[in-house]
Structure 1
Amino acid sequence: MNQYILAIDGGATKTTLSLRDASGKVYFEKTSTSTNYQAIGAEKVEKVLTNLLNEAYKATGILDIAVATFAIAGVDTQNGLAIVQQIIHRSCGNSPFSIRRTIVENDVQSTLIGLTGGKAGALLISGTGSAAYATDGQGRIERSGGWGHRVGDEGSGYWIGREILNTIFRSEDGRLEKPTVLTDLVYDMLQIDNIEQLNDWIYQPDYTNAQVANISKILTKAISLGDEQAIQIACNAAKELSIMTNAVLRKIEPIGEDFIVYLNGGILKHNPIILNVFKDYVKKIYPYISFHLCTQNPIDYIANRALSSLK
């Protein structure tokens, strides 16, 4: 009998569910909105997951699931894990699926396991949020960063977006020595005309972390125009990401020469200056490690995590 797995990649911006068999064949896959309960609340997360699960069943008619891996952003503490487990329990109860084993993990941890296949390695993600995880290949997993937008997420899309917005307000106040193109680029993106409208946008009732993270997309354009403030933000982001990575690598030393640091997330993929400066910083401490920029969709790594638990 064929075995089926569910892989759910629940991030701060979007959530993807994939239903596959043991050979990796995809039977259903769909992307919806965020399932980070810290950002949108437990009720909305439950609704998103319930809808995805029911759509997967209606599309496939498959009932028996061997393993379901829920890789969810915001699973950072035991209390957070308990909250997410309750949400998932209710969501699965609202669907027809019979799931024999359920794995609930932080999304970065699941991705790391899916990437390394149990071997030593590390993963840095910089998307809407940021975090670094590493494993020694002997079952030990350590982390650095990933403490959320209120106190952390350094070097992430949200962090960069917030830095850009802060720069615009500082420029408006006359607190910068030189003008910045960031103002015009953000105004154009948001289709607004002045600082008061920007302030209203920030404090709108429907404000989300993802909206601020989206602002980071203008950074590359600003850098190409030679904007000093944009270049400084990029370099600061790279430094913060390197500090996070070096910290987690220290926790699992010694590091072998074949050690790989996997890199994932839109910030690292679409900002060459951040990527290159980051590598330079890390290489100063760990000159022999190598880097691998992930090219597959994140859901594929989560699916690998689920499939590995079948073996």
Structure 2
Amino acid sequence: MEEKVVMAIDGGATKTAITLQLTNGKTLFNKISTGSNIHAIGIKHVERVITDLLMEAYQAIPNTHIEVAAFAMAGIDTSHDMSIIKGIIENCLNNVPFEINTIIVENDVHSTLLGLTDGKPGALVLSGTGSIAYAFDGKDLMVRTGGWGHLAADEGSGYWVGQQILRAIIRAEDGRTNKPTYLKTLLFEKLQVTNIEQLLAWVYHPEFTNAQMASISSILSDAIERGDETAIHIAKSAAKELSILAITVLEKIQYTGEVFTLYMNGGILRNHIVIKDLFQQYVSTKYPNISFELCQDAPIQYILKRALSEVNKVNK
């Protein structure tokens, strides 16, 4: 049987990845670019990022026929968002002469969960720049909780943690709390600033992004290791918010305690052990039979599996 080509695009808030792969697993092209969430950088910038990636892929392997192209995009939170993203992808493909049989456009976490479960029941909680949860009952019900963006929600996300750190530093600087915190020292070191004025100039820069706010979260673990009470409180709050996402999405598929895997992904759950452990503890209190699994591969690998599953459907 002739090997077919699938394409996966993972359009996240922080970075966008593209991979073209044969159905036998051989990779033909890989590239990573900047983020492509419409709510973070706008339509024109997203179109430029996607078009550039597609053009580079086409130049590397011209005249390639693609069986399935899966566009897994952050920022698809409503039907209106979906229509905008589909329009962007259509414009991008008009500029790149790929021949594509089937195009899938989905929220990035939706696609990732389908790639993870391969048709079986499961749930995924992601805490990266933003936060969101999806659950699939293994039949026809796919539900979500969260993922509404930093202005409306995203509790427990990297952006949210970064914001809590920034607010704690400002409160301490104002004298609105008597609780000392090491977070200020760590953040000043990270950003190479020496005073609050320089910190605020960084935050209020016209090109400041969600990803930059989320990057602040990286100092939390160091502060926790030093016993910083403010940092520990932020970690507990983040874990609690993420557990609420998970519990709510499980309730939506009427989970009753059977064998079930809850997958975890994103920088907060992958890199902050205290938050991950507390999150599992909070969820297990409600659902003691849940099995937790930290995603080991890059999201693009699960989106490739999502594309491959569509090829398999056609071949059956």
TM-score (norm 2): 0.97
Question: Deviation of residue 256 (structure 1)?
Answer: 4.4
Q: Is the 8 A contact 1:161 1:212 kept in 2?
A: yes
Partner residue in 1 for 2:229: 228
Partner residue in 2 for 1:281: 282
Question: Deviation of residue 257 (structure 1)?
Answer: 2.8
Question: Deviation of residue 43 (structure 1)?
Answer: 0.6
Give 1:242-281 correspondences, 5 Å limit. Answer: 242-281=243-282
Q: Hey, what's the Cα distance between the residues in 1 that align with 2:283 and 2:63?
A: 46
Q: Is the 8 A contact 2:65 2:98 kept in 1?
A: yes
What percent identity do the matched residue pairs reach? 54
Q: Hey, what's the Cα distance between the residues in 2 that align with 1:51 and 1:300?
A: 21
1:116 matched to 2:122? The reply is no
Structure 1 stretches of 4+ moved >4 Å? none
Partner residue in 2 for 1:17: 18
1:98 matched to 2:126? The reply is no
Other structure's SS at 1:149 match: coil
Write the letter of the residue equivalent to 1:88: I
Q: Hey, what's the Cα distance between the residues in 2 that align with 1:139 and 1:66?
A: 24
Q: Hey, what's the Cα distance between the residues in 2 that align with 1:94 and 1:38?
A: 23
Q: Hey, what's the Cα distance between the residues in 2 that align with 1:255 and 1:38?
A: 36
User: Which has the higher mean CA deviation after the structures are superposed, 247-256 or 273-282?
Assistant: 247-256
Write the letter of the residue equivalent to 1:176: T
Q: Hey, what's the Cα distance between the residues in 1 that align with 2:257 and 2:26?
A: 35
Question: Deviation of residue 258 (structure 1)?
Answer: 1.5
Partner residue in 2 for 1:238: 239
Give 1:21-170 correspondences, 5 Å limit. Answer: 21-170=22-171
**Structure 1 unaligned runs (5+)?**
none
Q: Hey, what's the Cα distance between the residues in 2 that align with 1:2 and 1:114?
A: 20
1:188-241: per-residue Cα shift (whole Å, max 9, x none)?
111111111111111101100000000000001011111100000000000000
Q: Is the 8 A contact 2:257 2:287 kept in 1?
A: no
Partner residue in 1 for 2:192: 191
Question: Deviation of residue 61 (structure 1)?
Answer: 2.3
1:4 matched to 2:5? The reply is yes
1:255-286: per-residue Cα shift (whole Å, max 9, x none)?
34320000011110111110111011100110
Q: Is the 8 A contact 1:63 1:96 kept in 2?
A: no
Q: Hey, what's the Cα distance between the residues in 1 that align with 2:283 and 2:145?
A: 15
Q: Hey, what's the Cα distance between the residues in 2 that align with 1:47 and 1:27?
A: 22
Q: Is the 8 A contact 1:118 1:139 kept in 2?
A: no
Residue correspondences, number:
311
Other structure's SS at 1:263 match: strand
**Structure 2 unaligned runs (5+)?**
none
Q: Hey, what's the Cα distance between the residues in 2 that align with 1:308 and 1:256?
A: 28
Q: Hey, what's the Cα distance between the residues in 1 that align with 2:50 and 2:189?
A: 35
Other structure's SS at 2:296 match: coil
Q: Is the 8 A contact 2:131 2:156 kept in 1?
A: yes
Q: Hey, what's the Cα distance between the residues in 2 that align with 1:17 and 1:124?
A: 22
Other structure's SS at 1:101 match: strand
Q: For the aligned residues, what is the CA RMSD?
A: 0.8
Q: Hey, what's the Cα distance between the residues in 2 that align with 1:136 and 1:257?
A: 11
Q: Is the 8 A contact 1:283 1:289 kept in 2?
A: yes
TM-score (norm 1): 0.98
Partner residue in 1 for 2:212: 211
